[in-house]
Copies of this chain bind each other. A is one copy, B any other.
Amino acid sequence: MMTTVRPYARVLDRLKSAGLRPTRQRLALAKLLLEDSDRHVTAEQLHGEAIDAGIKVSLATVYNTLHQFTKAKLLREVVVESGRAYFDTNTSDHHHLLNEDTGELSDISDSDIQLSQLPSPPSGTKIDRIDIIVRVKSDS
């Protein structure tokens, strides 16, 4: 019992400290998402998982929730292709490897990639974030 209660409490605290009311749907989605630390999901995928898990939630709410979580820094949005939004449960500094054949997206830890030279940002601006996507394909 403890083993199920503890992660639930952890998720609840994370929602609370993000200023998000721990509603039934948000808690359930947060549990699905935040329990694992290296997930890349689309809204559609997460909705499917929630339904499979017996959670009654609409796709619109999944979208809204994903954006609220992103704004609260519980998630990060990754843009790899136009027309589909991926959300990453790993919010620490890191980059991505995309298999163009399979569409599979995986993390590259910040320490596995080194930028030794950077342009200086135009005056009046500062660097918000640097996204690196290493696109690979079958070498056959």
Contact = CB atoms under 8 A, between A and B. Distances in A.
Interface of A: 77, 79-85, 97, 99-100, 108, 112-119, 121-122, 124-140
Contacts of A80: 79
A128 B136 CA distance: 5
Contacts of A112: 117-119
B130 A134 contact: yes
Contacts of A138: 124-126
Nearest to A108: B119
A74 to B, nearest CB: 19
A136 B125 contact: yes
Contacts of A77: 82
